[in-house]
C-alpha cells in the first residue's frame, strides 16, 4: 500500500476448530484505472474468536488482544454482513464501487 491512496479492503472471519478463527483478506487499489482484487491473506487461522458485542475496527480478537491491531488510517465506508461473503461477491462489490459513469 502507498500512503495517500485509497484501497478496497475486505476481510472475512469465520469460526475454525476450537478457539480459533479463519481469516481471508482481499485488497484492490482504487487508484488503479482497473482495480484488481488480490487475495493477500489466504485461510490464515488465528488463535481466539471474534469479539462479541460492539464493533471495534482494528481491535483484534478476544479481550486479551483487544488492541492488537490498531487502525491508523482514514476510513470512508464500512459494510458489515452477518455471513461470510465469497470472492465472487466481493469482486462484484468492487466492480460496482468502481463504476465510472
Dihedral (Cα; 52, 91, 1, 12), 10-degree rounding: 20
pLDDT of residue 63: 55
**How far is the C-alpha of 46 from the C-alpha of 59, rounded, in Å?**
14
Instruction: Give the dihedral of Cα atoms 44, 45, 46, 47; nearest 10 deg.
Output: -170
pLDDT tens sequence across 73-90: 777 888 888 899 999 999
* pTM > 0.95: yes or no: no
pLDDT at 54: 65
pLDDT above 70: percentage of residues in the chain: 75
Amino acid at each position: 500500500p502507498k500512503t495517500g491512496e485509497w484501497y478496497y479492503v475486505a476481510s472475512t472471519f469465520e469460526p475454525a476448530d476450537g478457539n480459533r478463527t479463519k481469516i481471508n483478506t482481499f485488497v484492490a487499489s482504487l487508484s488503479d484505472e482497473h482495480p484488481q482484487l488480490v487475495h493477500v491473506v489466504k485461510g490464515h487461522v488465528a488463535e481466539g474468536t471474534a469479539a462479541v458485542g460492539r464493533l471495534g475496527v482494528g481491535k483484534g480478537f478476544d479481550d486479551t488482544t483487544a488492541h492488537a491491531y490498531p487502525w491508523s488510517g482514514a476510513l470512508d465506508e464500512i459494510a458489515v454482513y452477518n455471513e461470510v461473503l465469497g470472492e465472487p461477491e466481493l469482486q462484484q462489490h468492487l466492480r460496482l464501487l468502481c463504476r465510472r459513469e
